[in-house]
Amino acid sequence: MLINNKDASRQTAPMTADPVDHAAAKLPSLLLVEDSQITRAILSRDLSQRYTLHDALDGEQAWELLCANPEIELVVTDIQMPRLNGHDLLKRIRTSPDPRINGLPVIVMTGADDTADRNQAFANGANDFLTKPVDILELQARVNVHHKLTRTIRELEQSRVRLAELANTDPLTKLKNRRSFEEHGAHHLAMARRYKTDLSLLLLDIDFFKNINDRHGHQTGDQVLTQVADLLAEQVRVVDIVARIGGEEFAVLLPATNRLGAAVLAERIRATIEEAEFPVNGAGLAVTVSIGMASLGAEPLDSVADLLAIADKRLYLAKNNGRNRICVNDQGKSNFLA
């Protein structure tokens, strides 16, 4: 059973600080694992001024709280506890498949002569230790250091992820950019060859896009690009890769898709865009696309660049043959039976 910090501390010593509004202050959350009511009350009284505290009487209760409270950012735990001790709790934390849990900083509290416990705690992945009886100022200092360090590491990782996303994402449409498309394409091409599966690619271009920019302005052109991107994303599967690889040019990589499946999707995309409403100044703007297609196994190729080159040649044929159509082969045909 959890013991309320306020009630426990009232039994041992009067509260000298004003109550803290945790919600308003947005204090970071800390999990204190201690089976001694007196020790827990003393530590809680001071830590609660800077942290939102979660209390646990043993490792089992602590583990339940960790799984249920994603806001917990640091753990302070005793070693000797009933049911699940501090060593086993630490092992669970470090072996958790959840990176939120396995990366938590953990400070252990040990007796002054518990050298074996201290060494075992470090072997299990503890970040720091404190000797009982715990000095409050030292506890606050160590908690603050590890909390700030962990937050800094997490913020750096988040920045790294954001930079990676920016490097691989088209800023206007939020689709993958050409660089990212080619990297994914190389991977899927290698997998298709290794496991002898199908792979197809669609290359599409918005018809008369320069006229849209010239007549309605680049802001309208950007709106058309983002709407076409959204329509493409709605038509494909989760495993498919959609990218903006040029000004008004998009590519769709289709793993495990043969020529017929790719042609069916290409025609569906073409018809969807032709039928869609593109509002401009209260009126509808007619937008169509031309699509070229290429498939692994249907033509000789060694790379994603070859796949793109074949699809590009057929895109050119589709435009020369009147636009608003798909082209599946070098004869400029829109289906395999023509």
Q: Is 71 a catalytic residue?
A: no
Mean pLDDT of the chain, nearest integer: 85
53 in the same domain as 163:
yes
Q: Which pLDDT belongs to residue 336?
A: 55
Q: Comparing C-alpha atoms, which of 140, 147, 134, 3 is closest to residue 78? A: 134
Name the active-site residue from 155, 248, 267, 277: 248
CATH of the domain at 193: 3.30.70.270
- Regarding pTM above 0.75, the answer is no
Domain range for 48 is: 5-167
Domain assignment present for residue 55? The answer is yes
Judge if 156 and 9 occupy the same domain.
Answer: yes
Q: How confident is the model over 249-277, as pLDDT tens digits?
A: 999 999 999 999 999 999 999 999 999 99
Q: How many domains is the chain partitioned into structurally?
A: 2
Which residue has tokens 């109550």?
19
Task: Give per-residue pLDDT as tens, 268-324.
Answer: 999 999 999 998 877 789 999 999 999 998 777 889 999 999 999 999 999 999 999
Residue 285: phi, psi to the nearest 5?
Answer: -105, 130
Of 131 and 265, more confident: 265
Shared-domain flag, residues 161 and 23 = yes
CATH of the domain at 36: 3.40.50.2300
Give a yes or no: residue 116 inside a domain: yes
Residue 91's CB is within 10 A of a number of other CB atoms, namely 15
Is residue 87's pLDDT more than 80? yes
Strands 29-33 and 72-78: parallel
Q: Is residue 211 part of a domain?
A: yes
d(CA 174, CA 152): 28
Do the domain assignments include residue 243? yes
Domain assignment present for 334: no
Report whether pLDDT(18) > 50.
no
- Within-domain flag for 215: yes
* Per-residue pLDDT at 159: 76
Cβ atoms within 10 Å, residue 301: 19
Shared-domain flag, residues 191 and 156: no
Determine what percent of the chain is predicted with pLDDT higher than 70: 90
Residues 239 and 187 in one domain: yes
